[in-house]
Amino acid sequence: MSELSENEKREITYLEAVREALVQEMRRDSEVFLIGEDVGVYGGAFGVSRGMLEEFGPERIRETPISEAAIAGAATGAAMMGMRPVMEIMFMDFITISMNQLVNQAAKIHFMFGGKASIPMVVRAPAGSGTGAAAQHCQSLEALFMNVPGIKVVAPSTPYDVKGLLVASIRDNNPVVFMEHKLLYRTKGPVPEELYTIPLGKAEVKREGRDLTVIAYSIMVPRALEAAEQLAAEGIAVEVVDPRSLKPLDKETIVRSVSKTGRALIVHESPVTGGVGGELAAVIAGSEAFDYLDAPIRRLAGRNVPIPYNRTLERAAVPQVEDIVAAARALAQEGR
């Protein structure tokens, strides 16, 4: 994280940082508006937009019917006309209902119109497991959108990052799927009150280390940092790299870290098959970092199952701190 001055070291939650980014951008730019189900009177499914209706009114805090396809279609049309919609999907799972509008329209229009039209829109998508909401409300679908040309994918892990990246995403001229992990909403951290941006496609080394690199994003970053702290007591120095945005991807930071440590463990919540980890592994294998590897690239990801309702099974379906500790310990010892 960049150096913060004393007057910037106030702490707010991840959820509050999301709201602050939205409010400040809406005050700055009258073309920015929020659209979605229950975003007005109710204040959003997770309370992100609470109080915003009173300040901005129903024209800019747009309540919609229960139709993600309609929300995405309206947002795409508004973006084509020069506005900057922020579309809230109540749960990331429901983004599947809007796939035609997002994948076949929003992602393609800039290219199909020869660059004469842009779609500056953000799709805010509360994602991930850990809330006991079961198979239809706990998915992480980032890999689907990484495969779609024209859509950017962002997955912040801290309150500081979520504010700066959301502001940058709103100002971007392309559709951005913006993942907000539900378990991160209550986490706290230092966030400057003034507006700032974090460039999309710029990773951050969250912890320096020499023995292996853990590449993680979203909820897996705090889990990786906790695992690194435990492993430090065993004399294993883990470097934690957070890509922050998955597309565009900061390949240089990842390659530089793996070249330094000689080992790479990729950790994510979404299922292992066809997941982000496979793409990251290919990036490493196809780079100069391959020549520095002292052990095979390893992936630790969600199991290939729908997220169970049962809390014990839910926990077993995705990597936890103890799983990262065990996988990193084994990798650190491999080939020695």
| Segment 78-95, tens digit of pLDDT | 999 999 999 999 999 999
What order do you get walking across the sheet with 264-271 strand by strand?
A: 204-207, 238-242, 212-216, 264-271, 298-302
Average pLDDT, the chain: 96
pLDDT for position 6: 58
pLDDT for position 7: 52
87 is written with which tokens?
A: 């579309």
pLDDT for position 92: 96
Q: What is the CATH number of domain 204-333?
A: 3.40.50.920
Q: Using CA atoms, how far apart are residues 241 and 251, in angstroms rounded to an integer?
A: 11
Q: Which residue carries 């660059």 as its tokens? A: 115
From the number of C-beta atoms within 10 Å of its C-beta (0-12, 13-18, 19+), residue 106 rates as buried
Q: What is the fold of 6-190?
A: Rossmann fold (3.40.50)
Q: Using CA atoms, how far apart are residues 160 and 182, in angstroms rounded to an integer?
A: 16
Catalytic sites, residue numbers: 137
Low-confidence spans in the chain with pLDDT less than 50: 1-2
pLDDT for position 334: 86
What are the backbone dihedrals phi and psi of residue 295, each rounded to the nearest 5 degrees, phi first? -160, 160
Domain with CATH 3.40.50.970 in the chain: 6-190
103 is written with which tokens?
A: 């994948």
Specify the length of the chain in residues.
Answer: 336
177: Cα separation from own chain's centroid: 8
- Measured CA to CA in angstroms, residue 234 lies from 53, 140, 231 at distances of 52, 32, 5
Residue 173 neighbours by CB distance under 10 Å = 12
CA atoms within 13 A on the CB side of 190: 9
Domain with CATH 3.40.50.920 in the chain: 204-333
Side chain identity, residue 312: T
pTM to 2 decimal places: 0.95
Give 37-73 pLDDT, tens digit per residue. Answer: 999 999 999 999 999 999 999 999 999 999 999 999 9
Q: Residues near 85 by Cβ (< 8 Å), separated by ≥ 6?
A: 32, 33, 34, 35, 74, 75, 78, 79, 121, 122
Instruction: Kindly state the DSSP code that residue 240 receives in the 8-state scheme.
Output: E
Angle at 22 between CA 225 and CA 157, to 5 degrees: 10
